Amino acid sequence: MKLPVLHPSRSAPLPVPAGPIRELRDTHGRVIRDLRIAVTDRCNFRCVYCMEPDVRFKRKIELLTDSEIVRTVRVARGLGVRRVRLTGGEPSVHPTLDSLIRDIWAVGLDDLSMTSNGSVLNEAELGQLHDAGLQRITVSLDSLREDRFRALTRSTATPARVLETVESAKRVGLNPVRINAVIVRGFNDDEIADLAALARRYDADVRLIEYMPLDSARKWEMAKVVPLDEIVERVNSVYPVEPIGRERTSSPATRFRFADGAPGRLGVIASVTRPFCNACSRLRITADGMVMPCLFSTEEYDLRAVLRDERTTDDDIAGFLAAATLRKQSGHGIHDEDYQQPDRPMSAIGG
């Protein structure tokens, strides 16, 4: 089978690797263990750094069905994928999330997690997702100020509602809860210490994330990025922290604990100033079924067409995933002169 290539000007079709495929290994020696799957491109927010108010969503027929997602996970599991994260768009607006989680977990994984804006799910629903197999949740929260939060998300939701989700998630056993905050200079960098303090208050993992050039409005500029050193310095001046090791070699966060022994941990994801591409173990699948070997890929591979061809066997899917992995770029190249932002914003890739 030849890979269907969506951007033929930038890549040539790749033949499937010869011989039996046992793992997903790229040309830089990295092995894929993590799959990020966008289960929908829809969202009830329109975050300014992610989704434009007039965004056009894909038609339902263009999105992968639950059974297509589950089949892909099963094949990937056979090739050494151990962890799956569901994202989007907003995964909690997916109509059959509960049964999708149940079917994915039944495949047999080490971890199944989800990233959510935390504005939709109530405690009962979180409990059902946990019962279905969800192990952990990451909740995004970029500001604790109501006016700012509303301006950022272009919604009527509140930070208090998101924090309720954090508490509910803990109560139903989705531990440890992670809280993600993208830091944008001039927007919320004055809240860095307050956001870090959420780790102490909720015994949570707070991840402060450097702003990446993946915004649909294309307003990203380096001047808006608050680098890791500055983030740590700002936390440290209020809550002294000390470094701890990475969770795994492939984990992107540089991690810290609080020097006074308070609960919770801080992680900084410095994709821009300290890229961790050489340890990357991820492959991404968009809601419309394209494989993106990297968050910053400008090339994508049409898995949906493969899945919808009735002649396709599981071996064909394995071959396709292996061939797409071979196209994984060595790094994101944000700092290269010819850096090209992917056509899709974060919401359509699955952040």
Q: Which positions touch ligand SF4 (CB under 6 A)?
A: 43, 45-47, 50-51, 88-90, 117, 346-347
Decide if residue 288 touches ligand SAM (CB under 6 A).
no
Decide if residue 116 touches ligand SAM (CB under 6 A).
yes
Decide if residue 113 touches ligand SAM (CB under 6 A).
no
CB 287 to ligand SAM: min, Å:
11
Residues of this chain, 198-237, that bind ligand SAM according to CB under 6 A: 209, 211-212, 214-215
- What does the chain come to in residues? 351
Alpha-carbon gap, residue 251 to 77, rounded angstroms:
19
Nearest to ligand SF4 of 25, 42 (CB atom): 42
Q: Which of 74, 63, 67, 62 is nearest to 39 (CA)?
A: 63
Alpha-carbon gap, residue 133 to 105, rounded angstroms:
5
57 burial type by CB count under 10 A (0-12 exposed, 13-18 middle, 19+ buried)? middle
Residues of this chain, 134-163, that bind ligand SAM according to CB under 6 A: 140
5 burial type by CB count under 10 A (0-12 exposed, 13-18 middle, 19+ buried)? middle
Torsion sign over Cα 148, 154, 156, 161:
negative
Decide if residue 252 touches ligand SAM (CB under 6 A).
no
DSSP assignment string, 7-48: -GGG----BPPSS---S-B-TTS-B--EEEEE--S--S---T
Picked from ligand SF4, ligand SAM, none, the partner binding residue 254 (CB below 5 to 8 A depending on kind) is none
CB 215 to ligand SAM: min, Å:
5
Alpha-carbon gap, residue 136 to 253, rounded angstroms:
17
Nearest to ligand SAM of 16, 38 (CB atom): 38
CB 347 to ligand SF4: min, Å:
4
Decide if residue 88 touches ligand SAM (CB under 6 A).
yes
Return the structure tokens found at 41: 């491109």
Nearest to ligand SF4 of 45, 220 (CB atom): 45
Decide if residue 50 touches ligand SAM (CB under 6 A).
yes
Binding site for ligand SAM (CB under 6 A): 43, 49-50, 87-88, 90, 115-117, 140, 180, 182, 209, 211-212, 214-215, 346-347, 351
